[in-house]
């Protein structure tokens, strides 16, 4: 048995991480500190290919931090994260892990789409230009093909008539749908959503959630940090309730949302429903 010793994490067998059928996301004992504050205290979970996992819990529980650790936007202080069987952000050398070069990490991120709370569109580019920027610049896709795909994606998110609009000319919900299309243009194997509707006016939330539902129906593997319990109940295959840097309860939506077993989960669900 080969054991990884990594910055104080519990011992983890590399052999145990390499199964013939890898989950899309495999996180083992993931820990993250900001100074003396440990915000992730040993997160272990798996997301199978084609599954939708919704992370719920109070603000400050570590949900967004965990999401950012998956694509190595945040470095972890312990544990392991693999995406589609590939160790994220580190290379194995003997029984230890070493952080990869930023260029290699950026290459890994190409397969992971991420949609943030604040849409993060380039304000000086139109919706279409925002979408084609990365496929042309990073994937080296031919411009004509990138434009065709961008128009298809804009149609998919219900914005075919907004291709030449700048972000300032779009509503928040429209900007978020462009952000989703931009992430999908890279043809990711995994999509991460960090509270994608939290910055939207209530009447704009539905259009964004509808796009996400269609993605789930199409088989996209998704991890969604959300306070939208209706969405989690309807779309998620698995719901995980997080509090104080730990997973308190995890299971099917009908169990975690409608019939929680842990007192902390019950209190949270009662407060948001």
Instruction: Please determine, for residue 142, whether its predicted confidence score (pLDDT) is greater than 70.
Output: yes
Contact by Cβ (8 Å): 189, 112: yes
Q: What is the pLDDT of residue 226?
A: 96
* pLDDT classification of 119: cutoffs 50, 70, 90: confident
The pLDDT tens digits of the residues spanning 214-268 come to 999 999 999 999 999 999 999 999 999 999 999 999 999 999 999 999 999 999 9
For 258-273, write each residue's pLDDT tens digit: 999 999 999 999 999 8
Question: Where does the pLDDT of residue 95 fall: very low under 50, low under 70, confident under 90, or very high at 90 and above?
Answer: confident
Range 161-189 average pLDDT: 97
Q: Read off the tokens for 214.
A: 């269609």
The model's pLDDT over 187-196, given as tens digits with 9 standing for 90+, comes to: 999 999 999 9
DSSP string, 161-225: GGTT--GGGS-HHHHHHHHHHHHHTT--SEEEEESTTTTS-HHHHHHHHHHHHHHHHTT-EEEEE
**For range 42-57, the mean pLDDT:** 97
CA gap 118, 172 in Å, rounded: 9
- The reported pLDDT for the residue numbered 5 is 33
Report whether pLDDT(15) > 60: no
Top pLDDT among 150 and 19 is at 150
pLDDT average, residue stretch 107-136:
95
């Amino acid at each position: 048995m080969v054991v990884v010793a990594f910055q104080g994490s519990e011992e983890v067998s590399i052999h145990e991480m390499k199964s013939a059928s890898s989950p899309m996301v495999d996180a083992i004992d993931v820990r993250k500190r900001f100074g003396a504050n440990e915000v992730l205290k040993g997160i272990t979970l798996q997301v199978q290919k084609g599954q939708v996992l919704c992370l719920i819990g109070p603000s400050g529980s570590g949900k967004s931090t965990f999401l950012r650790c998956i694509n190595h936007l945040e470095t972890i202080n312990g544990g392991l994260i693999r995406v589609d069987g590939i160790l994220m952000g580190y290379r194995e050398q003997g029984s230890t892990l070493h952080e990869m070069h930023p260029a290699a990490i950026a290459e890994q991120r190409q397969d992971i789409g991420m949609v943030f709370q604040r849409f993060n569109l380039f304000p000086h580019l139109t919706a279409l230009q925002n979408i084609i920027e990365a496929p042309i610049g990073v994937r080296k896709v031919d411009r004509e093909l990138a434009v065709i795909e961008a128009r298809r994606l804009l149609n998919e998110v219900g914005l075919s008539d907004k291709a030449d609009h700048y972000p300032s000319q779009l509503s928040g919900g429209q900007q978020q749908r462009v952000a989703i299309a931009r992430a999908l243009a890279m043809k990711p194997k995994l999509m991460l959503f960090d509270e994608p509707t939290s910055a939207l006016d209530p009447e704009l939330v539905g259009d964004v959630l509808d796009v996400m539902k269609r993605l789930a129906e199409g088989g996209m593997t998704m991890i969604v940090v959300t306070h939208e319990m209706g969405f989690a109940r309807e779309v998620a295959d698995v719901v995980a309730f997080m509090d104080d840097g730990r997973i308190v309860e995890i299971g099917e939506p009908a169990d975690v949302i409608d019939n929680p077993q842990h007192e902390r989960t019950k209190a949270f669900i009662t407060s948001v429903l």
